[in-house]
Amino acid sequence: MAGNTADGADTSPVSRQLAFVEAEVHSQLRIRTRRRDTDRRRAFGLQISTVSLSAVITVLLGVQVGQPARQWLSDVALGLGAAITVLAAWQAFFSHRALWLQRSDTVHRLAALERRLAFHRAGLAGAEPEPAQVAEFLAAYEEIVQADHDSWTRVRSVSDPQVALPPGPVPPQGRELLTDHQDATG
């Protein structure tokens, strides 16, 4: 059994694979938590802004004042109504509330996987991890990331039907793309 060092030079391939999965889960958890929190703030801000502006419009239109001020208040209310329309369109297009909820689920699942990884690591007590267990952790991680992507695509396709892509094979990249293009052209 290979010894463990701080830089990982003497660790086994399976130990390095487990460390890789742990680092990926930790990194994605941090990124997706930040995205979730941003979407939550934006959803809250948009909702509070539209409700507040609507209340201000109601007050402006209800205030009993003389003619020169009445026209000015009416013009301000009209401008605020236009701002509400823009904010509502922003919310409909970007769907911050739906993304916040979707990302909350992803963060929850990644945090649970991170706990399972930490629990597994603690149980090793210096022993080598089992390759099958490391493969299960990687598969669980990949399933969470794929489910997050699929959910994001569904949210975006509801907001903008032109975004919806039909399910199918992953398009070729890099050298495969050149080979496919060369085959098609001659």
In a domain, 2, yes or no: no
In a domain, 67, yes or no: yes
pLDDT, tens digit, 9 for 90 and up, residues 80-122: 999 999 999 999 889 999 999 999 999 999 999 999 999 999 9
CA distances from 164 to 98, 107, 150, 161, 172 (A): 16, 24, 11, 6, 19
Work out the pLDDT band at 161, boundaries 50, 70, 90.
Answer: low
In a domain, 5, yes or no: no
Domain of residue 31 covers 13-185
In a domain, 82, yes or no: yes
Q: What is the CATH number of the domain that holds 134?
A: 1.20.1270
Sign of CA dihedral 179, 183, 184, 186: positive
Per-residue model confidence (pLDDT) at position 52: 96
Per-residue model confidence (pLDDT) at position 156: 80
In a domain, 7, yes or no: no
In a domain, 112, yes or no: yes
How many domains are contained in the chain? 1
